[in-house]
Amino acid sequence: MPFVTIDQPITDRAPYKPPPGAREAPGEYFGFLPRPIRCKFHGITLEPVPDYASVKAWIASYTDHKGFVPPPYEQIGSFDPDPTTMELLGVKGAPSVAPLFKLPASHLITFPSGLAPELHRTHASFIMHLAAYLLDTWVQFENWWFSARVPVTRREAPDVSDSTIQHFVAHSYDIWRSWLEQDQVRTTNLLFMHCRASSYSWEFEQFTFEYLVTDACWRSAARTQQLSDPRHEERIIKLCEFFGMPQEADVIQEIVALRNDLVHEALWAGMQPTSGGTAAAFRRVYDLRRLNMRLIPAVLGYRNRYVQTPWWDLAPTSFDSL
């Protein structure tokens, strides 16, 4: 073995390689969306990449039984520094879960010439996370890193047609771009965190970030729609009242109690986090997620019938157009 080697991670997962020419079109590539949706509005185009079917097959080959693409395993490989060979000479240590990994792009967003190029990524970030919200997944720009398992099969998302996706994305983009920059950033961030929240494995972890999104929805509504500032434990009630959403007092009370115990006492359902939980606490995690699923379109001014459906109900729902 050479005196000096180059050490870098190697994984048990072969990277996806797009066919020649599949990434030549200019624009913002991102993924992975589990449907080949298309949208056109204001000269903006969101469309699947030419090799979408191959990308989807690659994703399917690494999707686990729970509907997630988990991180690969990695080891540190020692390589010959000779640039003509870069031969793998050995590995260091046992395999471990990779802290970061990438997924291939499934879609492309292109913008008209009227939008300044330096704004393309900012606007694309909002659009792609909005699409990910509808399809209940988590996305990143091409060659950006994921830091946890990625949901790629629909879990809590309602049924939604292609035409409604088009209408909702166009409507929401109009509302979003009318806001101040700081409110645009907040809304994009809450979409990102909503999409990422279901990637956490422990119930108390997911609950923490679901509640973060609920608070961010309140903040966005307070800034853009002059929602009054109630006491913290009344925020969900006031949000439901303001947007004409149904509410269930006992469920809201349990959600607030879970949040207060977790934040102030480091307790999850009266127990040490990771040591257990209750069936009721488990249900409240997903009740809170379904609440956020309805708050997001409401904050964006899309108050359809879906927004007014009971968020604590497990019955199948549809996301309808205005």
8-39, pLDDT tens digit by residue? 888 889 899 999 999 999 999 999 999 999 99
Token pair in block for residue 108: 């492309």
Q: Which residue has the tokens 């956490």?
A: 200
Per-residue model confidence (pLDDT) at position 11: 85
Reported pTM: 0.93
Per-residue model confidence (pLDDT) at position 157: 85
Which tops the pLDDT comparison, 180 or 3?
180
Confidence of residue 48 (pLDDT cuts 50, 70, 90): very high
Instruction: Please say whether the beta carbons of 32 and 59 come within 8 A.
Output: yes
Bridge partners, 45 (sequence order): 40, 110
SS (HEC) of the chain: CCCCCEEEEEECCCCCCCCCCCCCCCCEEEECCCCCCCEEECCEEEEECCCHHHHHHHHHHCCCCCCEECCCEEEEEEECCCCCCCCEEEEEEEEEECCCECCCCCEEEECCCCCCHHHHHHHHHHHHHHHHHHHCCCCEECCCCECCCEECCCCCCCECCHHHHHHHHHHHHHHHHCCCHHHHHHHHHHHHHHHHHCCCCCHHHHHHHHHHHHHHHHHHHHHHHCCCCCCHHHHHHHHHHHCCCCCCHHHHHHHHHHHHHHHHHCCECCECCCCCCCHHHHHHHHHHHHHHHHHHHHHCCCCCCHHHCCCCCCCCCECCCC
pLDDT over 90 for what percent of the chain? 82
Residue 65 has pLDDT above 90, yes or no: yes
126-150, pLDDT tens digit by residue? 999 999 999 999 999 999 999 999 9
Q: What is the mean pLDDT of the chain?
A: 93
Per-residue model confidence (pLDDT) at position 293: 97
- Residues 290 and 220: their CA atoms lie apart, in Å, by 18
Residue 174 has pLDDT above 60, yes or no: yes
